[in-house]
Amino acid sequence: MDLLNTLVDKGLRRELPSREEALAVLATSDDELLDVVAAAGKVRRQWFGRRVKLNYLVNLKSGLCPEDCSYCSQRLGSKAEILKYTWLKPDEASKAAAAGVAGGAKRVCLVASGRGPTDRDVDRVSETIGAIKEQNEGVEVCACLGLLSDGQAERLRGAGADAYNHNLNTSEATYAGITKTHTYADRVDTVQKAHAAGLSACSGLIAGMGESDEDLVDVVYALRELDPDSVPVNFLIPFEGTPLAKEWNLTPQRCLRILAMVRFVCPDVEVRIAGGREVHLRSMQPLALHLANSIFLGDYLTSEGQAGKADLDMIADAGFEVEGAGQVTLPEHRAGGVCGSEAAACGSAADACGSAAEACGSGGACGSHAAPEPAEASEARTDLVAVRRRGAGTDLAPNA
């Protein structure tokens, strides 16, 4: 297929595809799916080999969020029966993180519900970062605390944070249909603050909220312009008790096409399969490893993931290897902070941490574009949505 040959060539040169080419990837048929995966897989292997980076989430503060993000189980007014607790103590968070590191994770993602941290919250998280790094030599720590005020990113960096996550989630045109309590511009500003402070920026999206192909391409192009080092791709987990509980718009095939499109647009960036992979990719998860080079190990913020051992077995059985603590995730031109040529995928203008897909829009009509055709809709698999009842905030052992 000429389209795929062109996209592979551009990906190997770190050139930006046209919007028409990105949209064409999403429009390919199921008969062409393996060709799409194979093509995007060539780009993935060029920049990341067969390595898979493991990340581990620690939910520092769960539920009771004042924001109204419609995809989120922790949102204002959520009736989802999730765990609710206030800040974990540094030793509790460090103990939870150690389980993930023992399971093979090289990055720990510290997430807290809320609009954004107070200065006291930054102090708490700074203490937690110190405790984790003291007990787990070489571990990367990413913070995901919401909207940042001036100076907070610098304080987190000074405390030892390596990265900051704040997802754009959806296109600018559709954002007001997802949340009313903050704006798309607020999110962009926080990613820029993290970047300016010297933190590795991590920002991604949520698919499956009723958005169109155009919306997906818009948000991925916006992410490329922001130039994050990692792009988490979340697939909406439709929690009962949230406004998007009835939104089952994804099939495994569509999820793979979305991941392939992200890889072509962001060829040398850490693409992470985040929340919802077990729910929507299901038995097709191993194929997704040919597109993404990073996953979360074990459970998510408020939902359960598949067993940590199953994650490790899947990686090995698919012929991939877990990235070691001593290995550098990003290609040399990115890891060294050099964007390279003007054609580089470092952004036309200028890590997940959070798995927001499980956690705050309107009843699914997320934008001005037309929703996907009914043939794309997936049967509601509510049996695959399990609320997390173990790990951080409980007395039960974590899944790692």
For residue 180, being part of any structural domain is answered with yes
H/E stretch holding 142 reads: strand 140-144
Which of 358, 275, 384 has the alpha carbon at shortest distance from 69? 358
The Cα 7–Cα 4 span in angstroms is 5
Q: Consecutive sets of 10 residues in the chain, 400 residues long: mean pLDDT of each?
A: 95 98 98 98 98 96 83 74 86 94 96 92 97 94 96 98 97 93 95 97 96 98 97 92 89 98 98 95 97 93 86 97 95 68 36 40 34 54 81 83
Looking at the domain assignment, is residue 185 inside a domain?
Answer: yes
Distance from the Cα of residue 99 to its chain's centroid:
21
d(CA 130, CA 136): 10
CB 112 within 8 A of CB 165: no
**Token output for 310:** 């199953």
Residues flagged as binding site for [2Fe-2S] cluster: 109, 142, 202, 272
Q: Give how many domains the chain has, as a whole number.
A: 1
Q: Are strands 270-273 and 321-322 parallel, antiparallel or unpaired?
A: unpaired
User: CA-CA distance, 251 to 328, in Å (whole number)?
Assistant: 33
Predicted pLDDT of residue 353: 39
CATH number, domain containing residue 374: 3.20.20.70
The catalytic residue positions are 65, 69, 72, 109, 142, 202, 272
Please report the pLDDT score of residue 105 as a whole number: 96
The confidence score (pLDDT) of residue 245 equals: 87
What are the tokens at 362?
């309107």
Greatest extent of the chain over all pairs of C-alpha atoms, in Å: 56
Contact 271, 262 (CB under 8 A): yes
What does the alpha-carbon distance between residue 132 and residue 128 come to, in Å, rounded to a whole number?
Answer: 6
What Å distances lie between residue 376 and 46, 131, 258, 364, CA to CA? 31, 46, 13, 15
Pairwise CA distance, residues 26 & 6, whole Å: 15
Residue with token string 């459970």: 299
List, as residue ranges, the binding site: 65, 69, 72, 109, 142, 202, 272
**Is position 390 within any domain?**
no
Q: How far apart are CA 175 and CA 169, in angstroms?
A: 8
What is the pairing mode between strands 200-202 and 294-296? unpaired
Instruction: Report d(CA 281, CA 381) in Å as an integer.
Output: 11
Q: Please indicate, yes or no, if residue 391 is contained in any of the structural domains.
A: no
Q: What domain range is 299 assigned to?
A: 11-330+340-384
Has residue 268 been placed in a domain? yes
Q: CA dist 330 to 45, 313, 334, Å?
A: 12, 24, 6
> CA-CA distance, 74 to 356, in Å (whole number)?
10
Q: Tell me if 162 is assigned to some domain.
A: yes
Q: Amino acid identity of 44? A: R
Annotated binding site for [4Fe-4S] cluster: 65, 69, 72
> What is the torsional sign of CA 337, 341, 344, 349?
positive
Residue identified by tokens 């052992």 is: 397
| Three-class secondary structure of residue 326 per DSSP | coil
Does residue 88 lie in a domain region? Answer: yes
CA–CA gap between residue 39 and residue 20 (Å, rounded):
17
Instruction: Give a yes or no: residue 6 inside a domain.
Output: no
Length, in residues, of the chain: 400
pLDDT of residue 220: 98
